[in-house]
Amino acid sequence: MIVIDGHHLSLEEVVAVAREGEAVQLAPAARERLVQGHQWVQDILAAGKPVYGINTGFGIFADRRISSAQAAQLSRNLVLSHAVGTGAPLPEDVVRAAMLIRANTLAIGYSGVRPVVVETLLAMLNRGVTPEIPSQGSMGSSGDLAPLAHLALVFTTDDADRAEDSGWAVFQGRRMRGKAAMEAAGIPRIVLGAKEGLAVTNGATFSAALLALAVYDAGHWLNVAEITLSMSLEALLGASNAFDERIHRARRHPGQVAVAARVRELTRGSTLVDAGGRVQDAYSLRTAPQVQGAAREAWQFVAGVAEREINAVTDNPLIFGPHDAISGGNFHGEPVAMAADFLAIAMSEVAAISERRIFRLTDGNLNYGLPSMLVDTPEAAGLNSGLMMPQYTAASLVLENQTLASADSTRSLPTSGEQEDHNANAMTAARHASQVVANTAHVLAVEAYTAARALDLRLRLMPQAKMGCGTAEAHRRLRTAVPYQAGDAWWGPEIHRAREVLAHRAFVDAVRSACRG
């Protein structure tokens, strides 16, 4: 059971809830803060002083006063009018992550919502009600307004309680109206009160969810990239001097030092490394620590941003006391947008240098004595295409990444009659970063698959040679899942199986453990 209090949610816990169905509950201290914050909102209403979003309109209508009697209608109108997203639905894990993050930020207690709002979100997570959220339509600045409004449609209601106003959700594998899903799960829908409509929809929460899952996945694939690099280095009889510890310590970048150290560890005991007798290799081998190390450091920065954001108050205004409401801009998604752009750039480069190694492995002029396209024998060339097309796929994904990694956070258009005159484009940045990570994962799977075949062919030519402690274990695990085939075969499903092997954290753990014995 994961307990949220608004301050200590980790990326690992987000993943556990979003993907593994871990149960969640609200910390008692957080519940007390929620009760207090809600009372402060009631005090503000009683005082009659205009406070944005509590007794005023929203955005360009911030100067319009709203009576206390209309507070619930104000919240309901906000949800209904803002649920205008479009595009394919977001994946279930993203929606669940966003629900958890929103509950966590509200639990801090500065948003003025009742405990029932947070507890309803947690009940939905625990019982498996997943709202259907369109993936497009958020500027990521006044929060992810449209996606969060679609979320609110499912668990909130009004006196009319019309099913057609309840959005859509998935429950026990079936798509149904939000009202029906909540009833089937036994979760009462709630009528939002003063400030609660704004609190539910204000904040770059879906952007943060996308970033949290993407950066978690990216950390794993950076580990895999060190393994595929080591396999390619051995298959190409690469020179070890480029990984000498002294070189990397001289430049002082910790990511670079770490990548080189990992390659030295994984290739320990190899007689393939340095067997080519070359003074130096092409950049895709020789400068891999510099490139992948820079990506590691970018990842560390982005992970820090993501962890802060999932424990951040992103509402507006914030309620700090019975007569102390402050309007600000914590909803603005710029930190998430910039971090997502940085992650996309970093992972795009990891894929790019991996693809160059794939190309080198398959080119008979560059792979130091292996058959062109890694056909089984030189005589088979022509009748067999070998691994020609997997490199095409990798190249296509790298080109797509180069477009997706173009900075989204630098793009802005004004909204709400120029009241919101600078927008972050955070959700687009996070969606693109997530796709870049997925593309990079497949490129690395192609490299692993290609390098494994190259190692098979290399060991046929050099039967007395020996792989390193880590590369041998990686090769063994890949070959257990995908046996070597001499002639052309349907490579696509085999590459997908290889990707599934690589995707498990147990794979990285086993490969590293093989060098500790």
- β-bridge pairing 324-326 and 318-321: antiparallel
Q: Which of 139, 120, 143, 140 is nearest to 131 (CA)?
A: 120
Interacting residues of 239 by C-beta distance below 8 A, sequence separation 6+: 273, 274, 276, 278, 279, 280, 281, 285, 286
Residues comprising the chain, all counted: 517
> Which DSSP string do the residues of 302-313 spell out, in sequence order?
HHHHHHHHTTS-
What is the rounded distance in angstroms from the CA atom of residue 260 to the CA atom of residue 262? Answer: 5
Instruction: Give the 3-state secondary structure of 210-253.
Output: HHHHHHHHHHHHHHHHHHHHHHHHHHCCCCHHHHCHHHHHHHCC
Angle between helices 145-155 and 92-106 (to 10 degrees): 90
Q: Find the helix or strand (DSSP H, E) in which 3 lies.
A: strand 2-4
Q: Is 110 a catalytic residue?
A: no
Q: Is 465 helix (H, G, I), strand (E, B) or coil?
A: coil
Q: Which of 337, 248, 334, 362 is nearest to 297 (CA)?
A: 248
What is the rounded distance in angstroms from the CA atom of residue 217 to the CA atom of residue 227? Answer: 16
Please state the φ and ψ torsions of residue 287, each to the nearest 5 degrees.
-105, 15
Q: Which residue among the candidates 52, 110, 368, 449 is catalytic per the annotation?
A: 52
What is the rounded distance in angstroms from the CA atom of residue 465 to the CA atom of residue 468? Answer: 10
Q: Find the helix or strand (DSSP H, E) in which 170 lies.
A: strand 168-171
What is the separation, in whole angstroms, between the first and last Cα of the chain?
35
What is the rounded distance in angstroms from the CA atom of residue 444 to the CA atom of residue 294? Answer: 17
Q: Which residues are catalytic?
A: 52
